[in-house]
Amino acid sequence: MRVGPGAYLLLSALLFGIGVAGVLIRRNAIVVFMCIELMLNAVNLSFITFAKTNGSIDGQVLAFFVMVVAAAEVVVGLGILVAIFRKRSSASVDDVNLLKG
Amino acid sequence: MLLGQRLRRLAGWLATLAVAAAFVVALAAFFELLSHDAEGRSQVLRGYQWFASGDLRVAFDLRWDPLSAVMALVVTGVSSLIHLYSIGYMEHDERRETFFAWLNLFVASMLVLVLAQNFLVMFLGWEGVGLCSYLLVGFWFNRRLLLVNPLGRLVEGEPDDTYEVWAPPAAKKAFLANRIGDVGFLLAMFLIFATFGSLDFDDVFGQATGLASGTATAIALLLFVACTGKSAQFPLYVWLPDAMAGPTPVSALIHAATMVTAGVFLVARTHVFFEVSGTAQTVVVVVGAFTALLAALIAIGQDDIKKILAYSTVSQLGYMFIGVGLGPIGYAAGMFHLVTHAFFKAQLFLGAGSVMHGNDDDTDIKHFGGLRTAMPITFWTTMVAWAAIIGVPFLAGFYSKDQVLAAAFEHGGVGRLAWVVGVLTAGLTAFYMSRYVFLTFFGERRWPEGRHPHESPPVMTLPLIVLGVGAVVAGFALTTFTGEGGRFQRFLEPVLGAPEEHESLAGAFGLSAVATGVAAAGAVAAYLLYARQVDWLALRRRYASPWRALADRLYVDQAYELFTVTLGGALAAFLARTVDQRGIDGAVNGVAELVGSGARSGRRLQSGLVRSYALGVLGGAVLIVAFLVFRP
């Protein structure tokens, strides 16, 4: 059975929405990272879909870029998280509120 | 002040010499003036240019004409005698060099005032004498001086006198009252410049006859306000009695003979404005008459000999203003009274100073009595001055006062009213002056224990004698009996104009007889009350209410205090508390408060929570996307 590009885009939107909700709601920093990854992957999916429907491979190239950037970002993010965790042995994002005005 | 300690003893002589030299120069210039005929008797010396601003050019120009000659001779002549007197009077004072320096500065300022050729230079002298008056009245600024209690001997148990430091407030009062008058002078100058484009006398007086009566009235009245301040007329006379806190030579010079006469001189000099404006003339005459009467009444109730003389000065100045306010008929009379008054009032003050000098600086008349044997020269010279001021026939005061009264009567209208007031005041003058003389020199001795009154040294009595001679001869030497005025009037005619009306010899004789009769009545009344034994308490209790009112200076000072101090204080308190603290500070603080609360509410955005920031980012992103998608 063939599904149109619309279904892929809908899936992408849903994944993005779940990712956003997760970033806003979850307290554990690692879960927030995972939700960010989810958002990025959702965007990747929509890029691929559009590349297929437009017949050019620009979307696929962009998806590669996104994956590379996501990887680098995860390295840096996890590095920061580990450093914070060593200091205060808590991975909750609510605890890093020292910039409170 | 220049050569310091070594010349300390000579300071007085140096100062006296300077003024005496000025007198000699004035005398020489006077004779030089006489050598010209009547028309050419006015010389202008164009001096160094002071400043030029826009259309206004002011230079240190001086004018020598009969009017300024008269004033200059009076000023330098009487000043030299008073300087001489001060050498003895201030002998034991440790700051006497400063005293003489300021006294000289005063004479210099007064000369600038009378010799000025334009209003601004005159104002320079005007302010200068005001300044010197402040300095000299406040000369004993840290000394406890005698203050006579107005209720002494009226209320049982009240002390006769107290000792207080009252020179600084008196000096400030003098300066402030003068200042109020100076505002009038300044406004008049502004108006004159605006109308005529110049401040020079020749320019202004030449064009003044064609002036609109409204402007002339304004200028004249503003100048007269300045006169009420400087020459102590109602309502600005209140500083003069208080100014008796200064040394007696100061009172004699400044407050009898010279500074206070500056106002009379001003009216005479600017008489053109007063002639154009009948209203201003009436005002001058009425104020002069009223002041003369008021001051004479207050003088009756004073126990301090210097205060009696101070109020007498205010009263006699009123006569002078009646004279110069009448128009051409009265100018010479007013100026003549100025000259004679300078002689006998200075003599009275110096005599009072002599009495004080011999009585431990006591000024309370209740402690004198029978001094004629202890201080003969002072006694005789004071009697001469007494005779002159009450108008004993053929002495100076007789001529001058009767001339003023005759001119007032002739003038008609408000002049007749002034004549009535003037005659009444003459009677009161005789009364209080006779009271002064009888209580001081006659009667029983009331000296406190241990006091030995003695005559003053010759350096003080010599000026008294010279002034006494002047008081006697100045009258018939300078004028005649009738309203025609004689030599003095003719001398001043080029400046002041000739009167249009003359009166008959019989008329003048009649008026004079009335005035002299009233004065004699006043003197007799004082003799009956005061010349022998005086039961103070009974006398004062008998007339308790009027006595209290007169002794308390008819409550004029209290009215001033109520108006300025109380009202001003209340106004200041209101402005400070309500307007400044609550209003203005409230506004400023309110703005700060507003900013603070705004910041406090804004701060709540900075929660520090990552998730709320993330929510903010999301919200912003949604808005941007919506904008891009739904762009119109």
Q: Where are the domains of chain A?
A: 27-88
Facing A24 at nearest CB: one of B605, B608, B614? B614
Residue-averaged pLDDT of chain B:
83
Listed residue (B399, B389, B383, B400) closest to B427, CA to CA: B389
Going through B15-61 in order, the beta strands assigned E by DSSP cover 43-45, 49-53, 56-59
Checking if the pLDDT of B547 tops 80, the result is no
Over chain A (101 residues), the average pLDDT of each successive run of 10 is: 86 95 90 94 95 90 95 94 85 76 65
On chain A, the residues whose CB falls within 8 A of the CB of B611 are 23-25, 93-94
To the nearest whole Å, the CA of A26 is away from the closest chain B CA by 9
Q: Is B74 helix (H, G, I), strand (E, B) or coil?
A: helix
Q: Identify from B604, B606, B609 which residue to disrupt to test chain A contact, counting A C-beta atoms within 10 A and taking the largest count.
A: B609
pLDDT of residue B481: 46
Mutation site, A31, A93, A98, interface B, largest B CB count within 10 A: A93
Report the pLDDT averaged over residues B542-566.
79
Place of tokens 């000999």: B305
* A window 12-31, beta carbon within 8 A of B: 20, 23-25
Contacts of residue A100 in chain B, CB cutoff 8 Å?
Answer: 606-609
Residue of B nearest to A20 (CA): B618
The 8-class DSSP code of residue B443 comes to: S
Residue B621 has pLDDT above 60, yes or no: yes
Interface contact A97-B605, CB threshold 8 A: no
H helix or E strand, kind and range, residue B145? strand B145-148
Q: Which of B609, B614, B618 sits opposite A94 (nearest CB)?
A: B609
Q: What are the CA-CA distances from residue B137 to residues B109, B287, B504 (Å)?
A: 16, 26, 46
CB contact under 8 A, B608 and A23: no
Q: What is the CB neighbour count within 10 angstroms for residue B579?
A: 11
pLDDT above 90 as % of chain B: 17
Q: Which comes out higher in pLDDT, residue B11 or B379?
A: B379
| Alpha-helical regions (H) of B370-504 | 376-390, 396-411, 414-441, 458-478, 486-496
Tell me the per-residue pLDDT of B124-133, one tens digit each, with 9 for 90 and over: 999 999 999 9
CA–CA separation, B528 and B443 (whole Å):
12
Closest alpha carbon to B181 in B263, B291, B71, B287: B263
Residue B483's pLDDT is: 44
Given a cut of 80, is residue B54 above it in pLDDT? no
CA distance B596 to chain A (A): 14
pLDDT of residue B327 exceeding 70, the answer is yes
* CB-CB neighbors (< 8 A) of B615 in chain A: 24
Give the pLDDT score at B502. Answer: 59
DSSP string, B224-281: HHHHHHHTT-TTSTTHHHHGGGS-HHHHHIIIIISGGGHHHHHHHHTHHHHHH-HHHH
Those of residues 61-80 in A touching chain B at CB distance below 8 A are none
Q: What are the C-alpha distances in Å from B583 to residues B346, B568, B573?
A: 56, 20, 14
A94 vs B contacts (CB less than 8 Å): 609-611
Give the pLDDT of residue B9.
65
Tell me whether residues B608 and A100 touch, CB distance under 8 A.
yes
Residue B519 pLDDT > 80, yes or no?
A: yes
Task: Round to whole Å and give the CA distance between B440 and B457.
Answer: 20
User: In the block, which residue shows the tokens 């009649």?
Assistant: B510
Whether the pLDDT of residue B409 is over 60: the answer is: yes
The answer to whether the predicted template modeling score (pTM) of the entire model surpasses 0.95 is no
Which residues in chain B (570-609) have CB-CB distances under 8 A to chain A? 603, 605-609
Q: Nearest Cβ partner of B607 from A23, A93, A97? A: A97
Å from A58 to nearest chain B CA?
22
B618 touches chain A (CB under 8 A): yes
Tokens of B463: 């000026």
Distance from CA of A50 to the nearest CA of B (A): 18
Nearest residue on chain B to A100, alpha-carbon basis: B608
**DSSP code, position B564:** I
Report the candidate in B273, B268, B282 with the shortest Cα–Cα distance to residue B411: B282
CA distance B110 to B71: 9
DSSP A14: H
Residues 169-208 in B contacting A (C-alpha not used; CB under 8 Å) = none
The residue-averaged pLDDT of B21-31 equals 82
Q: Which of B605, B606, B611 sits opposite A93 (nearest CB)?
A: B611
- Looking at residue B479, its pLDDT comes to 61
Strand partners, B148: B161
Tens of pLDDT along B443-452? 778 887 777 7
* Mean pLDDT in residue range B312-337: 88
Residues 225-244 of B with CB under 8 A from A: none
Which of B255-269, B371-385, B454-468, B613-627 holds the top average pLDDT? B613-627
In this predicted structure, which of B11-20, B107-116, B388-397, B492-501 has the lowest mean pLDDT?
B492-501
Residues B155-196 pLDDT 10s: 667 777 888 888 888 898 889 888 999 999 999 999 998 888
**Predicted confidence band of residue B37 (pLDDT cuts 50, 70, 90):** low
Beta-carbon contacts of B86 under 8 Å, excluding residues fewer than 6 positions away, are B12, B16, B99, B100, B103, B247, B249
Cβ neighbours of A23 in B, within 8 Å: 611, 614
B238 or B494, which is more confident: B238
The pLDDT tens digits for B244-285 are 888 999 988 887 778 788 999 999 888 888 888 888 888 999
For chain B, percent of residues with pLDDT exceeding 70: 92
Q: Please report residues of A whose CB lies closer than 8 A to that of B609.
A: 93-94, 97, 100
Asked whether the beta carbons of B217 and B151 are under 8 A apart, the reply is: no
The pLDDT tens digits for B478-497 are 665 444 456 676 677 767 76
For residue B618, give the nearest of A20, A97, A100 by CB distance: A20
At B1, the pLDDT band (50, 70, 90 cuts) reads very low
Residues in chain A within 8 Å Cβ distance of B618: 20, 24
Q: Which of A23, A94, A101 sits opposite B614 (nearest CB)?
A: A23
Contact B618 A100 (CB under 8 A): no
Give me the CATH topology for the region A27-88: Helix Hairpins (1.10.287)
Containing B163, the helix (H) or strand (E) segment is: strand B161-164
Interface size A-B, in CB pairs within 8 Å, comes to: 32
Check pLDDT > 70 for residue B423: yes
Q: Please indicate if any CB of chain B lies within 8 Å of the CB of A94.
A: yes
Query: B610 and chain A: CB distance < 8 Å anywhere?
Result: yes
The nearest CA of chain A is from the CA of B613 a distance in Å of 9
- A98/B611 CB distance under 8 A: no
Q: Which residues contact B234 (CB under 8 A, 6 or more apart)?
A: B228, B287, B290, B291, B294
Chain A residues lying within 8 Å of B607, measured CB to CB: 97, 100-101
pLDDT of res. B6: 57
Q: Which residues of A touch B614 (CB under 8 A)?
A: 23-24
> In Å, how far is B584's CA from the nearest CA of chain A?
33
